[in-house]
């Protein structure tokens, strides 16, 4: 039983990594644009440190979107088809796909992290390990979010609309561009309920870049809960009976 559960998980995870390795240019595409945004906004405002965590999360977000968007095509004509008619459980399928995509987002996040000294980050080895762990948690969460959205989509253009109308705005009001402390009116409330706010503040806290609310403990808790909730939601949407809804 455990063999039939974990084998598909491992094989799907491995597949994502091998594909990624064979399309190395993807790394450049995902890391480059947040890097440019960061350098432009940070240099322009004279504060690279303030925008570092936001750009890091954007890198992870782009990677997660890129990976999960492939689900849409993959399911119609791709590897996912044979997965759907195999005895592998939906749970292992979801877990394998999310773990694989999260690992890629994580790797790209770590690459971005290498620019941290430019942002004036100076932390010890223990903190570095903690940050790397936090980046994984955020990667996992955002991949789960991408999965839940992508699974119900029948076309990639729908996903692009969601990305522009939901994911990018969500990132904008997460403390990535302006801190919660100086936010005005209802935006402040939106920031309080936005789970991404906690991802940003978790990273900011661990990188010792800013000490704005919420604190590290609360941020970690919220991000972890968000991740688990999205994993469960992914499992739920993927186990729906009819796998193809139209001709």
Residues that bind other proteins (CB under 8 A): 3-4, 7-8, 10-12, 14-15, 18-19, 22-23, 76-88, 241-244, 246-247
Between 182 and 246, whose beta carbon lies closer to other proteins? 246
CB of residue 15 to other proteins, shortest distance in Å = 6
CB of residue 11 to other proteins, shortest distance in Å = 4
CB of residue 240 to other proteins, shortest distance in Å = 10
Task: Give residue 124's region: left, alpha or beta (phi > 0; psi -120 to 50).
Answer: beta
CB of residue 220 to other proteins, shortest distance in Å = 34
User: In whole angstroms, what is the distance from residue 234 CA to residue 98 CA?
Assistant: 9
All residues at 6 or more sequence positions from 142 whose CB lies less than 8 Å from its CB, including other chains: 57, 60, 61, 64, 105
CB of residue 99 to other proteins, shortest distance in Å = 14
User: In whole angstroms, what is the distance from residue 94 CA to residue 15 CA?
Assistant: 14
Between 18 and 213, whose beta carbon lies closer to other proteins? 18
Is residue 55 within 8 A of residue 30, CB to CB? The reply is no
Is residue 231 within 8 A of residue 98, CB to CB? The reply is yes
Between 86 and 211, whose beta carbon lies closer to other proteins? 86
Q: Measure Cα distances from 163 to 61, 173, 194, 235, 239 in Å.
A: 10, 14, 16, 21, 24
Three-class SS of residue 222? helix
Q: Measure Cα distances from 21 to 79, 92, 102, 192 in Å.
A: 18, 23, 15, 38
Omega cis (within 30) before 88: no
Between 80 and 102, whose beta carbon lies closer to other proteins? 80
CB of residue 55 to other proteins, shortest distance in Å = 29
Is residue 141 within 8 A of residue 230, CB to CB? The reply is yes
Between 17 and 228, whose beta carbon lies closer to other proteins? 17
Between 83 and 95, whose beta carbon lies closer to other proteins? 83
CB of residue 124 to other proteins, shortest distance in Å = 39
Between 161 and 243, whose beta carbon lies closer to other proteins? 243
């Amino acid at each position: 039983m455990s063999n039939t559960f974990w084998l598909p998980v491992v094989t799907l995870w491995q597949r994502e990594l091998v594909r990624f390795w064979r399309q190395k240019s993807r790394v450049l595409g995902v890391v480059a644009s947040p890097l440019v945004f960061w350098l432009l906004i940070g240099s322009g405002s004279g504060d690279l440190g303030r925008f570092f965590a936001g750009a890091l999360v954007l890198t992870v977000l782009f990677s997660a979107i890129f990976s999960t968007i492939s689900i849409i095509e993959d399911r119609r004509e791709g590897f996912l088809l044979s997965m759907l008619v195999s005895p592998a459980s939906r749970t292992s399928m979801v877990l394998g796909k999310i773990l694989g995509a999260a690992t890629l987002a994580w790797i790209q996040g770590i690459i971005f992290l290498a620019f941290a000294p430019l942002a004036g980050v100076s932390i010890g080895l223990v903190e570095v390990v903690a940050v790397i762990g936090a980046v994984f948690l955020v990667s996992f969460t955002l991949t789960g979010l991408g999965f839940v959205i992508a699974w119900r989509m029948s076309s990639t253009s729908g996903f692009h609309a969601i990305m522009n109308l939901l994911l990018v705005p969500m990132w904008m009001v997460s403390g990535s561009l302006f801190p919660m402390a100086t936010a005005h009116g209802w935006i402040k409330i939106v920031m309080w309920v936005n789970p991404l706010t906690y991802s940003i503040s978790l990273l900011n806290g661990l990188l010792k870049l800013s000490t704005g609310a919420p604190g590290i403990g609360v941020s970690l808790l919220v991000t972890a809960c968000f991740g688990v909730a999205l994993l469960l939601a992914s499992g739920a949407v993927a186990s729906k009976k009819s796998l193809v809804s139209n001709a």
